[in-house]
Homo-oligomer: A and B are copies of this chain.
Amino acid sequence: MSDAQQTDQPAYRRSAGTARGEARRLELLDKVTDDLADNGLTDYSLRRAARAAGTTHKVILYHFDGLEDLLAQALTRLRRRRVDNVLAAAIREHDTLAERIRRVWPVLADDASGLRVIDQAIGLAMYDPERYAHLATDAAAQYLDALLKMCPESWSAARKREVAELILATMRGFLAEWRTTRDAERIEAGMAGLIRALEREEAAE
């Protein structure tokens, strides 16, 4: 998403060019990001974004290329927040990968953190990819980077990638289950299967 700032922008978006404009843009983005975390994505609108940022929808459109651009940027920031939480929970030097992943799940599933809006966005992208796929485009890449860092350094790049993608997909499946049915027992069983797989992967070194 951040690449958008480097590319040519429509003429009406004049804020990106100046330090002051950029500061204002970030200030608006912060407020909308917090509003999304607090209140979720359901029926989000330019009107709601403007109210959250204490401004008008014209000002929002001056600083962003429309609602979807604003949402994509806010979601990228929220995912960054979640990934930071995940890394903070996972990084203790002498832990195994399996132990780290055990600690990561509650961070991802945490309802109190306000980060479930990220899973809402994935849901929206699955529901209507033609309109909303861009809300999910960079999601996997953001998490994957964190997961690759948790793998033993001695592993080959391909092996890290395969294990990280397996973990990422499984966590996404758990999140889909958790967000829709709240069935913790189901997730616990799947987690036991995943942990065993990771322990074997590490033992195979």
* A residues lining the B interface (CB < 8 Å): 41-42, 119-120, 122-129, 133, 136-137, 139-140, 158, 161-163, 165-177, 179-181, 183, 186-187, 189-190, 192-194, 196-197, 200-201, 204
For the complex of A and B, 6 pairs with smallest distance between CB atoms: A123-B126, A169-B173, A166-B193, A165-B190, A197-B197, A172-B173
> Looking across the interface, which residue of chain B has its beta carbon closest to that of A135?
B180
**With A123-B125, A193-B163 in contact, do A177 and B169 touch (Cβ < 8 Å)?**
yes
Task: Verify B128–A42 contact, CB threshold 8 A.
Answer: yes
Quickly give the copy total for this chain.
2
Task: Verify A162–B127 contact, CB threshold 8 A.
Answer: no
**With A41-B127, A123-B122, A126-B123 in contact, do A193 and B165 touch (Cβ < 8 Å)?**
yes
Interface SS of chain A: helix
For A174, list chain B residues within 8 Å (CB). Answer: 169
A82 to chain B, nearest CB (A): 15
Task: Verify B173–A189 contact, CB threshold 8 A.
Answer: no
A110 CA / B161 CA spacing, docked (Å) = 25
A190 to chain B, nearest CB (A): 3
> Looking across the interface, which residue of chain B has its beta carbon closest to that of A161?
B189
Task: Verify A129–B201 contact, CB threshold 8 A.
Answer: no
24 contacts between A and B (CB under 8 A): A120-B128, A123-B123, A123-B124, A123-B128, A126-B179, A126-B180, A133-B181, A136-B176, A140-B177, A140-B181, A162-B192, A165-B186, A165-B190, A165-B193, A166-B190, A169-B169, A169-B174, A169-B177, A169-B187, A172-B176, A197-B200, A197-B201, A200-B200, A200-B204
Most B CB contacts (10 A, CB to CB) among A41, A122, A183 go to A122
For A167, list chain B residues within 8 Å (CB). Answer: 193
